């Protein structure tokens, strides 16, 4: 094989790499560079005359880059220098070096303080104090606003799912307790159950309790106890000549005879009985419902 650039190449086994300098080319800054074997050298592009002293590694780089002409090499250099002097260049911080960490955080967009993050706090399950703590931890970790937004969204989804599951469990427990209380009242009140239930309902309405307040009372007292108390209050109000929710009957309680006649009259009128049944089922406060409740109260 003819010598490269007039120098006698060092003989090495085919396919191996010789770590000695390329013959005839001094090693830059004293660092020993690998030299390819003869077969690998032959595959490299011939170095231009103005770069006859290149090492094998430099010739390989030249080949890998597509053998650019001087104009192409100059443009490669310009691009490299542009990157090196760009204001967008970020230097990785050193561990424990607060100054370099601060510069790095600023370069990637970390706000100067936790207040620089926008934290979404849902009304149904959000906690401002937790959000404040979360922002502080995120800032200490050097998170960017976009990273915090993604984590914030993920956390809100998890919190909502947990709240929904807890609410569902609570609702199931409440409904089970409510059904149990109703069942106990049906047994305790027997045939008077519907009349007393209606009386309790109308008493609560006459006393101005809202549905929200009643729901809270039911949660605290239990369904059976709450209905028993309202039925008891309604009965005492009726004894004093006041039927809850029925202005037309204030001043005089219905006699047992009048009550029996009214109940029988309604039952004998299919249209009236159906209308009353619909009102009771939908818990409507109508004169017919109030009078029906008063008639059953009078029969107690």
In whole angstroms, what is the distance from residue 147 CA to residue 111 CA? Answer: 12
Listed residue (227, 233, 164) closest to 201, CA to CA: 227
Say what the pLDDT of residue 86 is.
56
Say what the pLDDT of residue 182 is.
85
What average pLDDT does this structure show over 117-143?
Answer: 87
Residue 67 has, within 13 A of its CA and on its CB side, a CA count of 7
Percent of the chain clearing pLDDT 70 (strictly above): 73
- pLDDT-derived band at 115 (thresholds 50, 70, 90) equals very high
Q: Tens of pLDDT along 55-96?
A: 888 878 888 888 787 788 788 888 877 766 655 566 777 788
Q: Tens of pLDDT along 10-20?
A: 444 444 444 44
Say what the pLDDT of residue 243 is.
53
CA 254 to chain centre: 59
Q: Tens of pLDDT along 116-128?
A: 999 898 887 778 8
Q: Which phi and psi (to 5°) does residue 7 adopt?
A: -105, 155
What average pLDDT does this structure show over 263-290?
Answer: 83
Q: Is the pLDDT of residue 144 over 80?
A: yes
Q: Is the pLDDT of residue 225 over 80?
A: yes
Q: Tens of pLDDT along 241-253?
A: 555 544 444 434 5
3-state secondary structure of 21: coil
Say what the pLDDT of residue 22 is.
47
Say what the pLDDT of residue 84 is.
66
Residue 208 or residue 149, greater confidence: 149
Q: Tens of pLDDT along 147-202?
A: 999 999 888 888 888 777 776 666 666 677 788 888 888 888 888 888 888 888 88
What average pLDDT does this structure show over 240-268?
Answer: 65
* Residue with token string 């009771």: 280
């Amino acid at each position: 094989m003819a010598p490269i650039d007039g120098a006698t190449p060092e003989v090495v086994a085919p396919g191996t790499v010789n770590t000695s300098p390329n013959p005839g080319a001094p090693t830059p800054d004293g660092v020993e560079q690998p030299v390819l074997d003869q077969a690998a050298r032959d595959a490299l592009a011939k170095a231009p005359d103005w770069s006859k002293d290149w090492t094998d590694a430099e010739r390989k780089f030249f080949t890998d880059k597509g053998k650019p002409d001087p104009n192409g090499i100059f443009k490669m250099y310009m691009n490299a220098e542009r990157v090196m002097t760009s204001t967008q260049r970020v230097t990785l911080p050193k561990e424990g070096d607060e100054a370099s960490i601060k510069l790095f955080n600023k370069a990637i967009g970390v706000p100067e303080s936790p207040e620089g993050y926008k934290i979404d706090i849902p009304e149904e399950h959000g906690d401002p104090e937790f959000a404040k703590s979360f922002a502080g931890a995120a800032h200490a970790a050097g998170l960017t606003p976009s990273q915090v937004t993604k984590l914030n969204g993920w956390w809100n989804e998890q919190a909502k799912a947990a709240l929904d599951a807890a609410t569902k469990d609570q609702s199931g427990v409440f409904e089970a307790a409510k059904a149990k209380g109703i069942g106990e009242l049906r047994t305790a009140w027997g045939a008077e159950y519907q009349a007393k239930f209606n009386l309790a309902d109308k008493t609560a309405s006459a006393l101005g309790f809202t549905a929200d307040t009643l729901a809270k009372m039911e949660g605290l007292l239990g369904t059976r106890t709450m209905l028993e108390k309202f039925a008891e209050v309604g009965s005492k109000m009726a004894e004093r000549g006041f039927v809850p929710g029925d202005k037309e009957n204030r001043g005089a309680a219905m006699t047992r005879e009048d009550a029996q006649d009214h109940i029988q009259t309604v039952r004998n009128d299919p249209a009236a009985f159906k209308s009353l049944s619909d009102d009771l089922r939908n818990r409507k406060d109508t004169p017919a419902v109030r009078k029906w409740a008063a008639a059953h109260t009078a029969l107690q």
